[in-house]
Amino acid sequence: MLIIDCHGHYTTAPAAHNAFREQQLARLKQSELAPVARGVISDDEIRETIETNQLKLQRERGADLTLFSPRASAMGHHQGNAAVSLDWSRACNDLIGRVVGLYPDNFVGVCQLPQSPGVPIADSIAELTRCVTELGFVGCNLNPDPSGGHWTSPPLTDRQWYPFYERMVELDVPAMVHVSASCNPNFHATGAHYINADTTAFMQFIEGDLFKDFPALRFVIPHGGGAVPYHWGRYRGLAGMLKRPPLAEHVMRNVYFDTCVYHQPGIDLLFRVIDLDNILFGSEMVGAVRGIDPETGHYFDDTKRYLDALQLTDAQRAQVFEGNARRVYPRLDAILKARSR
């Protein structure tokens, strides 16, 4: 059995990558500054940042492979404009491509999109296509709120998003619904904005009819589905009040939750209420919560430990750690099969 972590970000990228972003944003404020070129990053620098962080933790914790995407909080779709977002997204995705090239057994790519507030999502199709067909990526992170906490885009069920969904279906790649940093002081990024976005997206799917129009479209809602499993009765009840079909057929044929829930009781609840078919192992390490839980002596985000503590059969474990990911990300499955894994 492979242990596939569906949710990891390159939060430890080399300094030259972050410096490029800083210069890019500085130039926005002072247009007389020279055009910004990407920093030079050696393979050794990438190895250093990966081997002392994600790869080290992958090995220590016993995972085999991570679906790896650019740092989510740094996507910063609300900063700059569409051109800036495209430059930055390509740099981020190319860097992920290099990580995958150096460690093809340990990382498979998931891309950031060059979204920008008010800019049609169709403009992100080319970068998705490039990442999937040229870099071999298997999915993308789709930001339902490129405004960064002001929520000025239409709901994910709106037809404005459809051109992008059509391409997702053609390429047979899922999207993780993932916001970036918040520029609204009400919302702490990882403590409120992330979780709220997860909850919000799920409720939009209940209200809409998106999966009637796109039966093959698939979304992973991270962070254990936001508030949804804890309020599963509320969502079942609201679906009824809104005259929607039962969630199992209306939403849960197309929506999956990861296991980025950082304590045992939360994971226990997730597995108690959500069908095993809809749960993908994920940790988001190195990510939002980096400390050690004083109550357990283990890292909060070592989510494999919580899953290991569940009473799962071998078949169930294989499903959550490997099978579901291969099913939701068919291009991952193809990559693995080509390597006889």
Please give the positions annotated as active site.
284
* CA atoms of 250 and 253, how far apart (whole Å): 7
Residues 94-113, mask of contacts with a copy of itself (x by CB under 8 A): --------------------
User: Closest approach of Cβ 194 to a copy of itself, in Å?
Assistant: 9
Of 130 and 150, CB closest to a copy of itself: 150
Compose the 219-238 pattern: x for residues touching a copy of itself by CB under 8 A, - for all others. ----xx-xx-xxxxxxxxxx
Q: Rounded to the nearest whole angstrom, what is the least distance from the CB of residue 296 to a copy of itself in the complex?
A: 9
Q: Which residues contact 73 (CB under 8 A, 6 or more apart)?
A: 180, 181, 189, 190
What 8-state DSSP symbol labels residue 292?
B
Nearer to a copy of itself, 16 or 276 (CB): 276
**Which residue from 30, 31, 186, 340 is in contact with a copy of itself, where contact means CB under 8 A?**
186
Tell me how far, at minimum, the Cβ of 328 lies from a copy of itself, in Å. Answer: 22
CB neighbour list of residue 171: distance below 8 Å, 6 or more residues apart: 128, 129, 132, 133, 331
Distance between CA 1 and CA 7 in Å, rounded? 18
Q: What is the DSSP letter of 191?
A: I
**Dist CA 177 CA 19 (whole Å):** 27
Cβ proximity to a copy of itself: between 183 and 312 the closer is: 183
- What mask, x for binding a copy of itself by CB under 8 A, covers residues 115 to 144? -----------------------------x
* Token code pair at residue 152: 């000025």
Distance CA 13, CA 28 (A): 22
Residue 192 CA: distances (Å) to CA of 5, 107, 188, 291, 312: 23, 28, 5, 18, 31
Q: Which is nearer to a copy of itself, 25 or 289 (CB)?
A: 289
268 binds a copy of itself (CB under 8 A): yes
Q: Is 199 in the site for a copy of itself (CB under 8 A)?
A: yes
Min dist. Cβ of residue 231 to a copy of itself (A): 6
In terms of C-beta distances under 8 Å and separation of at least 24 residues, what long-range contacts does 123-126 make, across chains too? 123/82, 123/86, 124/164, 125/163, 125/164, 125/167
* Residues numbered 298-317 forming contacts with a copy of itself, rule: CB under 8 A: 300-301
* Bridge partner list, 221: 257
- Which residue in the block uniquely carries the two structure tokens 């976005």? 197
Residue 35 or 291: which CB sits closer to a copy of itself? 291
Nearest distance from C-beta of residue 186 to a copy of itself, angstroms: 5
**Residue 232: count of CB within 10 angstroms of its CB:** 17
62 contributes a contact to a copy of itself by CB under 8 A: no
Burial of residue 72 (CB within 10 Å: 0-12, 13-18, 19+) is buried
Q: Give bridge partners of residue 111 from the DSSP assignment.
A: 140
CB nearer to a copy of itself: pick between 165 and 257: 257
**What does the binding site for a copy of itself look like in residue numbers (CB under 8 A)?**
144-145, 149-151, 153-155, 184-188, 190-192, 195-196, 199-200, 203-204, 206-207, 223-224, 226-227, 229-238, 240-241, 261-263, 265-266, 268-269, 272-273, 288-291, 293, 295, 300-301
